Structure 1
Amino acid sequence: MKIVLKQHFGAILAAVSFLTRLPMPLWVGSHSQAIAKASRWFSLVGLLLGLIAAASLYLLSLLVGQMLGVVLTLVAMILLTGAFHEDGLADLCDGFGGGWQTERKLAIMKDSQIGTYGVLALVASFNIKVVALLQLPLDLACVSLIVCHAGSRAIAGLVAIYLPYARTSNNNKTPQKDALLPLKNRLILLIFGGLPLFLLPLSATLGLILIWLLTFIYLIRLMDHHIQGYTGDTLGATQQIIEIIGLIYFTAYYYQLT
């Protein structure tokens, strides 16, 4: 029992080390196979990040007001995660927008330099998050951060079920390509990704699930059309897009109530 618990705890810490910049003990696995096994816990890490973001926004808003609190919270989360998923969003926009053939799109996405499409995507993403969180009352803004961080990482983790890995090279940073996705792994992703939904009224939950489902289907088709599969960048972009769509939904839902 102790060995099993230690293995699960080690896998969770490996997931944290992959998705954040938090320092981990030396015994925590960081090789591709360890991260692949840990990928089932990505939505749990998303839930923890959402709780951190919500706590940060609440405390900072009490100190400096919600406007500055929102900006500082988003900057803090970028520092905490190393802009891991934002990088994927920028690369996807550069690759899908700047390439004509699949090989060229993949090459652009792997290039470390950012292009016009990527810059515009990051500017738009940050501004949408800021405005959405400012239009929500503080308590709902905090809840939306928890829901969107957890849910977006769960949904991103499901992409590999429906698409093959697009690159032929083994030199990559995508653990899901080596991970089997049995029912147990999917359930773990969905359980921790869906737990925050219990904070919402049933009508809000059903609407958000529908919007996320339609967005997920669109993204799967978009990846299949452009590169006939997925990469680490498309997974990061999926997380960011699902998070943004979630925040927009919360804003629309709140305005319908008021």
Structure 2
Amino acid sequence: MATELQRQASVTALGRDTADLSDPEACSAAIEAHAPAVVINAAAWTAVDAAEAQESDAMRINAKAPGAMAQACCALEIPFLHISTDYVFEGSGTQAWRETDPVAPKNAYGRTKLVGEHQIAEAGGHWAILRTSWIFSAHGGNFVKTMLRLSESRDRLSIVADQVGCPTPAADIAATLLRMGRAMTKGQGGGLYHYGGQPPVSWADFARAIFANAGKTVTVEDIPTSAYPTPAERPRNSRLDCAKLTMDFGIEPPDWTTGLVNVLKELDRV
């Protein structure tokens, strides 16, 4: 996410050497030292399965550090923006989740992100939390890059088909955060929002779209979640209702198919 933010705006991107999220006090001190106009926290513990065995470490990074940063921003009277996740929901049904729906995370990662949301809200000040899902880009590890890597040696893959969500391009998330940040420096908006790519799709159908757009001949076999057990339980329904963000900031949810084409083009240039 930091890469996408730096591409789209002049930002000061702090690395782990100066803002290590495992050290919440160092993060708040870095904010105080730089005295920025707005802070966007684009970092997190995202190893969902590893969080099951290391929940205390994930809690420090996903909850305590954002809480400390939000407190620092409140003291400086500057906006604080933070990325959260659809994993705060228990993931049943087929309706898109709204910001007002009850939360009940089913895994450690979701629990740590939810505590982070609470700590940010409790810090006060002018803040915004953007819940998103299924993030992909040309950088780092993500589903798109995994599928492309597997397609180099496999012509048939079994992919979960009973989990449905909103693939979201990192570039669009970065643009949204920057737009929100600029508006919030003028006193506009703030609170909890959802932002996910449209239309909703299963992992299996997302994989088919990746292969079709990349010109890969790979057959995708639909399988249930039960056939692909993981340490952390995943929600079946990760659909997100993004109407509130559109109402408050005029930001429409992205078309993930366009974002996918752009990511594939970028990967072709690497």
Q: Normalising by structure 1, what TM-score?
A: 0.30
Q: Give the number of the structure with larger relative contact order, counting CA–CA contacts within 8 Å between residues 6 or more apart.
A: 1
Q: Which structure's residues are more often helix, by fraction?
A: 1
Provide TM-score, normalisation by structure 2: 0.29
